[in-house]
Amino acid sequence: MKVIVLASGSKGNATYIETSDSNILIDCGISRRQLITRMAKNNLNFNSIDKILVTHEHNDHVSGLRVLLSKINPQIYMTKLSYNHLHFKTKDNINKDNIVFIKPYESFFIGSLLIYPFSVSHDSNDAIGFKITEQEKTIVYLTDSGYIPKKDFAFLKNADVYIFESNYDVTMLFKSKRPYYLKQRIDSVKGHMSNSDSAYNLTQLIGEKTKQIILAHPSRECNTPEKALDTHIEIYKEYEISADELEIIVASQDFPTKLIEF
């Protein structure tokens, strides 16, 4: 299995997963041109994309779909509520015959992949994350969430790779010039996870199989890669988790992460 985060942040999100029999895009919040460019730099073929998983209908996750779907014809997996709340220009470009409606906590297969969608706490209509497994190798994809309910920790534990929300530094957020209502929204259980929230949640999830963590959806204005990394490493130490045994990568809005193959 190969995975690369092509873009992550409030201006656009896209992650590519390749297996022996499927080529999957999680979200398409960047332009077709950027998608092609970023994939080509890693010797990946844009035209090979045959499935798209959509986490929710917010623009930074679906803005590239309209043009993308005029060029390729993949199957699209999303919840019915998310589909119903897509912008009409995007919805009109989706061939309904290519839509597979999925539900949180109901697993399905794409080729050799077992995909388990789960609800995340965000101010959208039906946002979801994904646990993706192939031959005992697992990726957990969780962004755009203010918190994780206790009931979900058990099945999210001990993944090989976590692509995990680490959106903001609390001090930077509340010192920013953003309106107070927006600060409250971001810092709420229906908003995003801070670096600290992200790290504390991951201390409950990291297991002996875990090798890589990609810190996702970082804020440009209210976070830095250094703050995200330092916070995670410091909190992991509190729980006697050695960051030396993990590869921790901070994703970016502007360029893809390295390609991870496992």
pLDDT tens-digit map of 150-180: 999 999 999 999 999 999 999 999 999 999 9
pLDDT over 90 percentage in the chain: 90
Instruction: Determine, yes or no, domain membership for 88.
Output: yes
Q: What's the confidence (pLDDT) of residue 139? A: 98
Q: What is the model's pTM? A: 0.96
- Number of structural domains, the chain? 1
Q: What's the confidence (pLDDT) of residue 123? A: 84
Long-range pairs of 12-16 with CB within 8 A, sequence gap ≥ 24: 12/60, 12/63, 12/64, 12/253, 13/60, 13/61, 13/143, 13/216, 13/217, 14/64, 15/141, 15/163, 16/44, 16/49
> Which of the four pLDDT bands, split at 50, 70 and 90, describes residue 24?
very high
Cβ atoms 13, 62 nearer than 8 A: no
SS (H, E, C) 210-252: CCEEEEECCCCCCCCHHHHHHHHHHHHHHCCCCHHHCEEEECC
Q: What's the confidence (pLDDT) of residue 189? A: 87
Instruction: Determine, yes or no, domain membership for 13.
Output: yes
What value does the mean pLDDT take over residues 186-209? 95
> For the stretch 77-89, what's the b/e string if a residue is b when 16 or more beta carbons lie within 10 angstroms of its beta carbon?
bbbeebbeebeee
pLDDT score of 93 more than 90: no
Instruction: Determine, yes or no, domain membership for 172.
Output: yes
Joined together, the tokens standing for residue 123 give 């101010």
pLDDT in tens, 120-142: 998 888 999 999 999 999 999 99
Instruction: Determine, yes or no, domain membership for 262.
Output: no
- Provide the CATH number for the domain around residue 152: 3.60.15.10
The range of the structural domain enclosing residue 104 comes to: 2-255
Instruction: Determine, yes or no, domain membership for 261.
Output: no
Q: Which of 43-57, 83-97, 140-154 has the lowest mean pLDDT?
A: 83-97
Instruction: Determine, yes or no, domain membership for 182.
Output: yes
* Distance of alpha carbon 134 from alpha carbon 113, whole angstroms: 5
* Distance of alpha carbon 48 from alpha carbon 43, whole angstroms: 12
pLDDT score of 99 more than 90: yes
Q: Which of 4-13, 85-94, 208-217 has the lowest mean pLDDT?
A: 85-94
pLDDT score of 198 more than 90: yes
Q: What's the confidence (pLDDT) of residue 125? A: 85
Instruction: Determine, yes or no, domain membership for 195.
Output: yes
Q: What's the confidence (pLDDT) of residue 197? A: 97
Instruction: Determine, yes or no, domain membership for 260.
Output: no
Q: What is the mean pLDDT of the chain?
A: 95
Q: What's the confidence (pLDDT) of residue 131? A: 98
